[in-house]
Amino acid sequence: MADSVESTGSAAPLLIACALGIERFALRSGDHSDARGQVTVLRTGMGPANAQRAVLAACGDGPLRDAAVIASGFCAGLAAGMHPGDLVVAERTRLAGAHTVCTHPELLVKALARAVPGRTVHCGLLTGADHVVRGHQRAELLATGAIAVDMESAATLSGALDAGPRPVAAVRVVVDAPEHELVRIGTVRGGISAFRVLRAVLPAFLEWHRSLLLPRR
At residue 193's C-alpha, the angle toward residues 192 and 195, to 5°, is 65
Question: 97 CB contacts (<8 Å, ≥6 apart)?
Answer: none
Residue 57 domain-assigned?
yes
Residue 217 domain-assigned?
no
Number of domains present in the structure of the chain: 1
Check residue 184 and give its pLDDT. 45
At residue 157's C-alpha, the angle toward residues 152 and 163, to 5°, is 125
**165-215 pLDDT, tens per residue?**
999 999 999 998 765 555 443 445 567 889 999 999 999 999 999 998 776
Q: Residue 39: which CATH number?
A: 3.40.50.1580
Check residue 215 and give its pLDDT. 61
Residue 65 domain-assigned?
yes
Q: Which of 99, 102, 94, 98 is nearest to 168 (CA)?
A: 102
> What is the mean pLDDT of the segment spanning 95-122?
95
Q: How confident is the model at residue 108 (pLDDT cuts 50, 70, 90)?
A: very high
Instruction: Give the integer Cα–Cα distance in Å for 141 and 69.
Output: 25
Containing domain of residue 102, as a range?
A: 3-211
Check residue 182 and give its pLDDT. 52
Residue 216 domain-assigned?
no
Residue 102 domain-assigned?
yes
Residue 145 domain-assigned?
yes
pLDDT at 11 over 60: no
